[in-house]
Copies of this chain bind each other. A is one copy, B any other.
């Protein structure tokens, strides 16, 4: 039986594995975690809205259902393309086909001081750390007599006006206003500052102008301070330094201003495009190695003159395509080149407030929020996770309460 090895079980790897299951090929799913993580909701774990368990799903539970598929926990260190072996920290796996789907990491653009002091959201433990850190900042502020230090503890700076920055800013503001204001009677609501910074002149740059305006206005009406055309030039853990010379005293800097392909992409000796992404052929295979595919955030494929965005739907569609391409090739056939069908994008700002655009139609407010909610429930894996998330959302919606406000360990900085 021929073996397909998939490195990385994010949205791309997952959809490839699912589409290959039962095809008569052996499928080996490799990941350094034993679960698939639903990254779009990580920010809700960081803002005490969801348990971490509800957005993670054990890969072995999928392997049970998918015929021919099994799981190998391991950290990928490289690929022996000529010997057709995926190299792991503690072993190797020979392959007939290889799908590289290891995703992306946060891009700090080489600013080491920011990387050292900023939080970012890519992994589950980072979300837990950030939640611990935010709650601990309130704990410390509640007993801090010095006015300036108290202000710095209660100032939260978010860099990057894309969907993650917007969603995190909105959720954090709601947490502070509706939940923590009642938990910390020692803190006056107006003492908490949430600052969202964006280098360009508008939030949500990929969205239509009307929705950009809606998001900006909505965030501001919620009390988020939005600073456009503002860049961060440095950080030291107690201050954030802006390009214009301004200094903001703060203990919390959240960075969502860029993504790049995982480091592995640079170790493979392959041609790379912007953000370290691997250049792929029209069928998503690698130059000179038709049996190796790269998909998702790791891959760079241009379409209509621009590289495809690093988004979950792109990864999912590429995973399905590659699975079909492999099955076709096994039958001596060949697929037409990959084409991404853009079904739209969306971002939620707060309760009853979101923006969405699909097939040229834009909508905002309650309808967009409801669609956002239903689609996220739909795409979550597993009945139980859906139920848990729905329960948490309903609870928050009706009681304005977020239950997961536990400080589960001493807050650690992101590595």
Contacts and interface: CB of A to CB of B under 8 A. Distances in A.
Nearest to A387: B391
A34 B387 contact: no
This chain: copies in complex: 2
Interface in A2-37: 33-35
Interface residues of A, number: 41
B183 A53 contact: no
Given A51-B53, A404-B53, A60 B384 contact: no
Interface stretch (A204-212, A355-363, A405-413): A405-413
Given A56-B406, A58-B406, A387-B391, A64 B182 contact: yes
A88 to B, nearest CB: 10
A70 B125 contact: no
A406 B9 CA distance: 14
Interface in A360-415: 382, 384-385, 387-388, 391, 395, 403-409
Interface string A70-106: 1011000000000000000001000000000000000
A143 B182 contact: no
Contacts of A186: 70
B406 A34 contact: yes
A408 B405 CA distance: 18
Contacts of A60: 183-184, 405
Given A183-B61, A384-B395, A408 B52 contact: yes
B183 A64 contact: yes
A143 B183 CA distance: 48
Contact of A35 (B33, B52, B73, B406): B406
Contacts of A385: 403
Which of A70, A184, A405, A408 has the most chain B CB atoms inside 10 A of its CB? A408
B403 A72 contact: no
A305 interface: no
A228 interface: no
A248 interface: no
Nearest to A61: B183
Nearest to A72: B143
Interface string A293-327: 00000000000000000000000000000000000
A185 interface: yes
A60 B30 CA distance: 42
Contacts of A52: 406, 408
16 contacts: A33-B406, A51-B51, A51-B54, A52-B406, A53-B404, A53-B406, A58-B405, A58-B406, A60-B183, A61-B405, A63-B183, A64-B182, A73-B139, A73-B407, A124-B406, A124-B408
Interface of A: 33-35, 51-54, 56, 58, 60-61, 63-64, 70, 72-73, 91, 124-125, 135, 139, 143, 182-186, 382, 384-385, 387-388, 391, 395, 403-409
For the complex of A and B, list the 8 residue pairs with the smallest distance between their C-beta atoms, beginning with the closest: A60-B183, A51-B53, A73-B139, A34-B407, A35-B406, A51-B51, A58-B405, A53-B404
Given A60-B183, A384-B395, 13 more contacts: A34-B407, A51-B51, A51-B54, A53-B404, A56-B406, A58-B183, A60-B184, A64-B183, A73-B139, A125-B408, A384-B391, A387-B391, A388-B388
